[in-house]
């Protein structure tokens, strides 16, 4: 029997429909990275910008009150060696993820499947391309109007000072005087810090200034952490609870920080998978 062209086409269609469905070629694997969402939140969410601005605006609103009270000081009592009253006013700020946004460096690590390294970090700092954290320029203008000195206590190494000062200036931040940048490795007479602790540098500033406020993205930016475990950190926070949003201003940073190693025993030498397993085990799946 000869099929008409129409019926031939119909038969071809029916035959084609009866072919077994071939599985689609697998899509190219998208590498997983523990930091993808956190870095995107900082870079792409309006909410990050809102939260950061919110902190700096709330701080501006309390500046006059802080200035007017001679005994208002934001150093922990154990880090204040001399009375603050009568000293010129200053604010102490951390740099990374507090006044400068280094999320492009984090984004490159996600893109390349890399992890933090000192040489990689130094190369990023030398680029001098970090942008200001939302809200900080507004705060800096208000501090300047009231003759409050901005002092940066940072764990950027002292050999990165020039690149850091260049970047701060390019970002529109004030850099004034010899105490403007106190990096990791700054010598403080009569004081020895452990590792990257900032306590001696805060003491140094306390000798010369009344510290109205401190700004940071990590607890260690404000006071020395003696016990970097979730419980130890919680206890410290509770001790200074009344100062949060008053003398201490915390900026959001979900991408890294000492909160993270606290979850895996502060042991960075473990393989990535072991650290990830410890973090998964730290998830709270019940209220």
- Binding interface with Mg ion (CB under 5 A): 94, 96-97, 217
Please say which residue, 209 or 215, places its beta carbon nearer to Mg ion: 215
Minimum distance from residue 143 beta carbon to Mg ion (Å): 19
Minimum distance from residue 286 beta carbon to Mg ion (Å): 32
Q: Distance (Å, rounded) from C-alpha 64 to C-alpha 204?
A: 24
Minimum distance from residue 155 beta carbon to Mg ion (Å): 7
Residue 278 CA, distance from chain mean position: 22
DSSP label at residue 1: -
Minimum distance from residue 199 beta carbon to Mg ion (Å): 16
Q: Residue holding tokens 């007479």? A: 189
Please say which residue, 158 or 270, places its beta carbon nearer to Mg ion: 158
The residue whose Cβ lies closest to Mg ion is 96
Please say which residue, 98 or 149, places its beta carbon nearer to Mg ion: 98
Please say which residue, 79 or 101, places its beta carbon nearer to Mg ion: 101
Minimum distance from residue 256 beta carbon to Mg ion (Å): 9
DSSP label at residue 35: T
Please say which residue, 84 or 100, places its beta carbon nearer to Mg ion: 100
- For 169, phi and psi rounded to 5 degrees? -65, -45
Residue 132 CA, distance from chain mean position: 12
Minimum distance from residue 54 beta carbon to Mg ion (Å): 18
Residue 148 CA, distance from chain mean position: 24
Q: List b or e across 120-157, with b for residues whose CB sees 16 or more CB atoms inside 10 angstroms.
A: ebeebbeebebebbbbbbebbebbeeeebbbbbbbbbb
**Collapsed DSSP state (helix, strand, coil) of residue 7:** helix
H-only helix segments in 69-160: 103-112, 118-127, 136-145
Please say which residue, 73 or 94, places its beta carbon nearer to Mg ion: 94
Q: How far is CA 191 from CA 77, 203, 221, in A?
A: 16, 8, 17
Please say which residue, 73 or 217, places its beta carbon nearer to Mg ion: 217
Minimum distance from residue 251 beta carbon to Mg ion (Å): 8
What the block records as the tokens of 270 is 């473990």
């Amino acid at each position: 029997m000869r099929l008409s062209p129409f019926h031939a086409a119909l038969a071809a269609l029916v035959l084609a429909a009866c072919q077994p469905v071939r599985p689609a070629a697998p899509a190219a694997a998208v590498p997983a990275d523990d930091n993808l969402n956190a870095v995107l939140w900082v870079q792409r969410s309006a909410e990050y910008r809102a939260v950061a601005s919110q902190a700096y605006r709330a701080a501006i609103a309390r500046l006059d009150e802080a200035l007017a009270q001679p005994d208002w000081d934001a150093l922990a009592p154990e880090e204040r060696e001399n009375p603050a009253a009568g000293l010129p006013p200053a604010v102490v700020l951390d740099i990374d993820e507090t006044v400068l946004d280094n999320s492009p460096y984090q984004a490159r690590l996600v893109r390349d499947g890399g992890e933090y390294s000192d040489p990689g970090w130094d190369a990023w700092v030398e680029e001098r391309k970090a942008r200001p954290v939302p809200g900080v320029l507004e705060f800096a203008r208000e501090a300047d109007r009231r003759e409050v000195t901005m002092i940066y206590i940072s764990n950027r190494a002292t050999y990165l000072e020039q690149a850091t000062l260049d970047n701060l200036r390019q970002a529109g931040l004030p850099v004034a005087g010899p105490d403007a940048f106190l990096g990791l490795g700054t010598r403080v007479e009569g004081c020895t810090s452990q590792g990257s602790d900032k306590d001696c540098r805060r003491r140094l500033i306390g000798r010369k200034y009344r510290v109205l406020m401190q700004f940071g993205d990590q607890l260690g930016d404000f006071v020395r952490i003696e016990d970097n475990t979730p419980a130890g950190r919680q206890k410290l926070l509770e001790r200074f609870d009344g100062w949060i949003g008053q003398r201490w201003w915390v900026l959001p940073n979900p991408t890294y920080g000492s909160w993270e190693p606290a979850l895996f025993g502060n042991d960075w030498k473990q393989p990535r998978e072991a650290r990830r397993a410890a973090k998964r085990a730290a998830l709270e799946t019940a209220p």
